[in-house]
Structure formats: C-alpha cells, structure tokens
C-alpha cells in the first residue's frame, strides 16, 4: 500500500475493520463501506482521486470501485450540497402528497430534484426508490434521518433549520 | 375490532425498550438458542420443526422455508453461509425496518437457529443503506449485546457452537433485494442478479453454499421452536401458517404495521387501519407491494390476506404491503409512478427489462400528456408481455404485472384519459 493517500487515518482504520468481516482475499466486499466512509469525509461526494484511494486501500483495480460508485444511488460522483434531502414520491407517499411535498421544496429552494442550492447548503436528491417508511407517508430523509407524516410546514421547518 | 393482533416478529406494545437484550429475554427470548448451546437442541430438530411449521418466505415469493434450508448440502466443507435479506425496498413495505428497530434480537436468534440448522457458521445481515440512521445502529447494538452475552461468536456454550454474525450495509439499489443481486452486492460488486441454476444453496456467496432468507422469515423462527410447529400452523390459514406484518399504507385513516395471523380478512384489516380515509369509497388495493397485481375493491373485499386466497383472486400476498387507493385515485397516474420506479431500478443487464421499462414509463407519460392514441393501450400491454418471463430475475415480471393488472381491471379509465387528455391538448392549441 502506497504511503500517500487521500484517506484520513480513521477512515483507513474503519475500512480495514470492515474488510476483516470477510474471508481473507475477499476485501472487495468492503468496497461499499469504504466508499460510504470516503464520501462522508469528503462532504458528500466521491472524486476520482478519492475512488482511486479506496481502490489502493483495498488493493483493487480502480474500475471495480468506479462501477460500484456509479451503480448505487447513495453514492455521488459529482459535487453536491452538504445536506442531502430525499423526498420519497413512490406509490405510498405519492398517494398521500409526496409529489406535492417535493414540488413545494423545489419551489421554496429554487432548484429541481437532482440539483443543489447555489450556496452549497442543500442537495435535493432525485429519489426513485421507496425508502421503506410507507406507513409514515409522506416522508423524507435528511442526512440519513427519517421524517414521517410530513406537512409542507414541517418540511419547511426541517429544511430551514439545517446548518449553513 | 374483530382482528386479533399477535406479536411474534413485532414486540408486544407493553414491552419497555423492546430492542434491549434484557427485554427480549424477559419475553422468553434466546431460550431455544440456549438449548442449542447446551447441546439439548439438535440441528435436525430445528430443520424438522421449521419444515413441519409450514413457514413460507415473507420476502415476496412465499417459498417454503424448511424446504429451502434442506437444499443446503449436509456435511459440506465449511464455510457455508446464511444471509439475511434486510434490504427492504419493495414499495409499500416497511415492516423489516420495524423488526430491526424494535425487535433486533428476535432476528439475531432466528439467524442463529437457522444457521445452526443448516450447518452454516457465518451469517451476514444485508441491511439497506438508507437504514443507516436508526435501524442499523439498533441492530449493531443488539449484536454487541448478544456477543457480550456469549450468544454470538466462536466456541459458544457447552456444545462449542460457532456462529459469527456480521452486518453489511447496502448503498441504495432495489435490485439488491433479489437474492442473487444481493449476493453480488455482498461480494462488493454492482447488484446484478445471477442466472439460476446454480442456486445459492450450491453456489452462493463466494461460490459457497448459501441460503438467503428475508428478515421477517427469520424473525418467525424463534416462536416456532418455542411454541411448536403445530401451534404456529394453527395460527394461520391452510398453506399460510403463522403471522404476517401487514404494512397498510395509502388512503387509510391509520396507516401502520399490523401483525396478524395469515388469513385475516381484508375487510378486518382495513377496519383495523381505520377504514378508507376522509369517508371516501375504496377503489383499488395492491395487496403485496407494488410488484403484485392490483385488485379492484369488489374483488379485494372478498379476499382473505393469505397466499392462496390472493393468488386465487389473481394477485399475490407478496411482502404483505397493502397499498390502499380511494375513489379519487387516477389509475393512469398511479401506474406511471409505479412504472417509473422499475425503469429507474432496472439493473440494465437484460434488454427486455432495460429497454421495456423505459418504454412503459414513456408511453404512460404520453397518455397523461395527451399525446397517445387508443391503440397505444394494446402496445403498452404488448411491451409488458414481452418483458415478463424474458429476464434473468423477477424485476422484469414485477414491472409487467402492474401494467397488465391495471389494464385488466381499469381499461375504460385509461381509454377515457387518452381521450380527455388529447382533447384538452387540442383545446390548448386551438
């Protein structure tokens, strides 16, 4: 393993800890954990040099890291806002106003789903998947936290309180 | 209310902090696993009990669990694996999230018993990435408690049992709920499903014998061993033993996760969820997650919520996710939203699914925007029929079934929508 890497020491330790859950030689299984850690350390997105560093840490060809980073919806490969807001509009949420909730936030933030605010504060994720909180519809996920049974006022307050 | 609630997979409502080991033990938890560790309960007895119980997979397909377990080669060279599928993402379904949050130990005990029954010494719980905030920490904390109590690890108890259990957190992909897509993901790859055969029991994780079971399936196992197969069978309906956590969502007064014996009538379940909201009439229900065929009110009203009854009615129990739609629901818009999901989630390796799901979504959009003709309905059905059965995994079928069933039951509404959207469009340009 090369001496120089973009990954901080604590991420490297966490990546190795993850790799230890798998049999010897199967460290590729830790790539999802490694990318998640790298992305969190990097303000929510993965650059190519960062993905290369993950590849180096796990001793994988970089292509095996790129193909994972671009397959899964929770990885971002371009810069995005610091807070990730995902409004679910799948069928159960859609039936209870998830679509209207998303439109409301788009309007309020002045961006479309898939875009980030100009100040880099908020990224409004284009959410295709159901987030499995269907009985709490409509709902949204903000930085891994679920908010359920939302009114537009609730959503305004939650988004308004996000750190600058 | 006439619907009895039972608590096998969900903790009883009166339990305090039901996710803690102490609380789970008070409810009789880990009594069967302790018997294993004392050498008093043998693997063959567990397998026999689960087979006799009639437990079927709760992840959607309803395959008999004991039979699936028996496909694992006996006395095989280690390692072989048990994998729990907590990648809950079938639209409408949200009960595995509650098992992880409120009753993680029942899952851990279920996994331990299942692994032991199959001779697997290592387990992974594949949890969807979006569960990172609450369900994952709860599961991890429970795992640490179990490890500290000598319930998970190596050389456990008098019987010197080995069972290592590890968490695995996904990163957002519906397709990883498909068991071979999940195994690919667990190997650190894009979650593209594999051809079967070979089935995972022959060649699964890292090419080793592997069984993948759903969270609720595994969470049902401790109760079977504690109370007996006959008791479990008597809880449910014929061919539908035990309980189901029904996730009732959509247009009801009290959406929620309700665990009840399989075979409860739809009407009782709806009543339990407070009935259709706003005093409106029931129009349609998708009874088992967005992939299963929709049923109109007059058919679902006659159904019991079990495998056989829903299958006879032309749908399926699926994941037990009951999506309720009231009389105001536009079926064309609802179907387009469902179609968009499969389009977005197709992994792309099979042409009929990759291309066909996009066609379905675009054609439905055209209908809503007044750019479709009546003949497009047959074309829509044709595209759906050409996806179904022509793909490696069931995502293709799951994309086709909603289209086929919406058209079967609500075709006049689609025809009317095509006409009215077109005339609105013409009026706008006149």
- Which of A35, A134, A150 is the best residue to mutate to test the B interface, defined by the most B CB atoms within 10 Å of its own CB? A134
Interface confidence (ipTM) of the complex: 0.96
Residue B314: how many other CB atoms lie within 10 Å? 15
Contact A92 B132 (CB under 8 A): no
Residue range B93-122, pLDDT digits in tens? 999 999 999 999 999 999 999 999 999 999
Distance from CA of B326 to the nearest CA of A (A): 9
- Which of B130, B251, B368 is the best residue to mutate to test the A interface, defined by the most A CB atoms within 10 Å of its own CB? B130
Which helix (H) or strand (E) segment holds residue B400: the answer is helix B395-429
Judge whether residue B78 has pLDDT over 90: no
Contact B130 A74 (CB under 8 A): yes
Interface A:B, Cβ pairs < 8 A: 155
Residue B127: how many other CB atoms lie within 10 Å? 25
Helix (H, G, I), strand (E, B) or coil at B218: helix
pTM of the model: 0.96
CA-to-CA dists, residue B376 to B217, B283, B362, angstroms? 41, 24, 11
Per-residue pLDDT at A3:
52
With contacts defined as CB-CB under 8 Å, which chain B residues touch A141?
130, 133
How far is the C-alpha of B184 from the C-alpha of B194, rounded, in Å?
8
Contact A68 B250 (CB under 8 A): no
Per-residue pLDDT at B187:
98
Residue range B254-300, pLDDT digits in tens? 999 999 999 999 999 999 999 999 999 999 999 999 999 999 999 99
Per-residue pLDDT at B5:
80
Contact A129 B89 (CB under 8 A): yes
Please tell me if residue B123 touches chain A, with a CB cutoff of 8 Å.
no
Nearest CA in chain A to B344: A128
Confidence of residue B422 (pLDDT cuts 50, 70, 90): confident
Please tell me if residue B207 touches chain A, with a CB cutoff of 8 Å.
no
Listed range (B74-83, B252-261, B376-385, B396-405) with the worst mean pLDDT: B74-83
Phi and psi at residue A45, in whole multiples of 5°?
-150, 165
Residue range B118-171, pLDDT digits in tens? 999 999 999 999 999 999 999 999 999 999 999 999 999 999 999 999 999 999
Nearest CA in chain B to A25: B206
Contact B268, B289 (CB under 8 A): no
Query: Which residue in the set A30, A32, A128 is minimally distant from B341, CB to CB?
Result: A128
Contact B341 A130 (CB under 8 A): yes
- Which of B147, B171, B334 is the best residue to mutate to test the A interface, defined by the most A CB atoms within 10 Å of its own CB? B171
Nearest CA in chain A to B95: A132
Residue linked to tokens 């195994």:
B183
Q: Report chain A's C-alpha Rg in angstroms.
A: 18
In this prediction, residues B203-209 reach a mean pLDDT of 96
Interface of A with B (CB under 8 A): 21, 23, 26, 28-33, 35-36, 64, 67-68, 71-75, 89-92, 94-96, 99, 128-137, 141, 144-146
Residue pLDDT tens, chain A, 164 long: 445 678 999 899 999 999 999 999 999 999 999 999 999 999 999 999 999 999 999 999 999 999 999 999 999 999 999 999 999 999 999 999 999 999 999 999 999 999 999 999 999 998 888 999 999 999 999 999 999 999 999 999 999 999 88
Confidence of residue B427 (pLDDT cuts 50, 70, 90): confident
Contact A68 B325 (CB under 8 A): no
Q: What is the mean pLDDT of chain B?
A: 96
Please tell me if residue B131 touches chain A, with a CB cutoff of 8 Å.
yes
Query: Chain A neighbours among B 287-326 (CB < 8 Å)?
Result: 290, 321, 323-325
Which residues lie closer than 8 Å to B189 by C-beta, 6 or more apart?
A28, A64, A67, A68
How far is the C-alpha of A42 from the C-alpha of A66, rounded, in Å?
16
Contact B166 A21 (CB under 8 A): yes
Helix (H, G, I), strand (E, B) or coil at B30: coil
Per-residue pLDDT at B3:
79
Contact A91 B91 (CB under 8 A): yes
């Amino acid at each position: 393993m090369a001496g120089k890497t973009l990954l901080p020491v604590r991420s490297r330790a966490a990546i190795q800890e993850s790799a230890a859950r798998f049999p010897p030689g199967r460290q590729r299984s830790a790539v999802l954990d490694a990318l998640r850690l790298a992305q969190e350390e990097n303000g929510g997105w993965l650059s190519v040099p960062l993905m290369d560093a993950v590849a180096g840490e796990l001793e994988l060809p970089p292509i095996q890291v790129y193909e994972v980073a671009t397959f899964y919806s929770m990885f971002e490969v371009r810069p995005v806002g610091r807070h990730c807001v995902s409004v679910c509009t799948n069928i159960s949420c859609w039936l209870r106003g998830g679509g209207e909730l998303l439109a409301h936030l788009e309007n309020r933030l002045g961006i479309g789903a898939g875009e980030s605010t100009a100040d880099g504060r908020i990224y409004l994720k284009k959410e295709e998947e159901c987030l499995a909180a269907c009985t709490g519809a409509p709902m949204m996920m903000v930085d891994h936290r679920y908010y359920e049974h939302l009114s537009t006022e609730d959503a305004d307050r939650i988004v308004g309180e996000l750190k600058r | 209310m006439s619907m009895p609630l039972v608590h096998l997979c969900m903790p009883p409502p009166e339990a305090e902090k039901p996710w803690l080991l102490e609380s789970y033990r008070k409810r009789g938890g880990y009594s069967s696993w302790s018997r294993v560790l004392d050498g008093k309960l043998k693997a063959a007895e567990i397998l026999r009990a689960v087979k006799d119980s009639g437990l079927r997979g709760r992840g959607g397909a309803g395959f008999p669990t004991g039979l699936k377990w028996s496909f694992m080669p006996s006395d095989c060279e280690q390692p072989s694996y048990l994998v729990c599928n907590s990648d809950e993402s079938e639209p409408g379904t949200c009960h595995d999230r509650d098992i992880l949050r409120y009753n993680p130990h029942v899952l851990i005990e279920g996994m331990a018993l299942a692994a032991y029954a199959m001779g697997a010494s290592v387990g992974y719980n594949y949890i969807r990435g979006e569960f990172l905030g609450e369900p994952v920490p709860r599961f991890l904390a429970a795992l640490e408690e179990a490890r500290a109590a000598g319930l998970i690890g190596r050389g456990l108890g008098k019987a010197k049992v080995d069972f290592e259990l590890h968490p695995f957190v996904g990163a957002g992909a519906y397709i990883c709920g498909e068991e071979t897509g999940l195994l690919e993901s667990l190997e650190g790859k894009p979650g593209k499903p594999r051809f079967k055969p070979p089935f995972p029991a022959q060649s699964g994780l890292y090419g080793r014998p592997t069984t993948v079971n759903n969270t609720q399936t595994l969470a049902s196992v401790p109760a079977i061993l504690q109370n007996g197969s006959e008791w479990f069978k008597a809880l449910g309906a014929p061919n539908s033993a035990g309980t189901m956590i029904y996730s009732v969502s959509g247009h009801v007064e009290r959406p929620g996760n309700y665990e009840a014996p399989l075979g409860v009538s739809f009407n009782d379940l709806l009543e339990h969820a407070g009935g259709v909201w706003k005093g409106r009439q029931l129009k349609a229900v998708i009874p088992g997650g967005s992939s299963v065929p929709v049923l109109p009110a007059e058919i679902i009203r006659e159904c019991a919520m079990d495998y056989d009854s829903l299958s006879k009615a032309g749908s399926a129990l699926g994941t037990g996710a009951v999506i309720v739609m009231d009389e105001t629901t536009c079926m064309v818009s609802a179907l387009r939203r469902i179609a968009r999901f499969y389009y977005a989630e197709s992994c792309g390796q099979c042409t009929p699914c990759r291309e066909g799901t996009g066609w379905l979504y675009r054609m439905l959009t055209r209908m809503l925007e007044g750019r479709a003709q009546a003949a497009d309905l047959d074309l829509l059905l044709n595209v759906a029929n050409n996806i179904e059965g022509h793909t490696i995994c069931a995502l293709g079928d799951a994309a086709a079934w909603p289209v086929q069933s919406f058209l079967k039951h609500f075709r006049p509404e689609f025809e009317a929508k095509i006409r009215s959207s077109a005339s609105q469009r013409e009026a706008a340009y006149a």
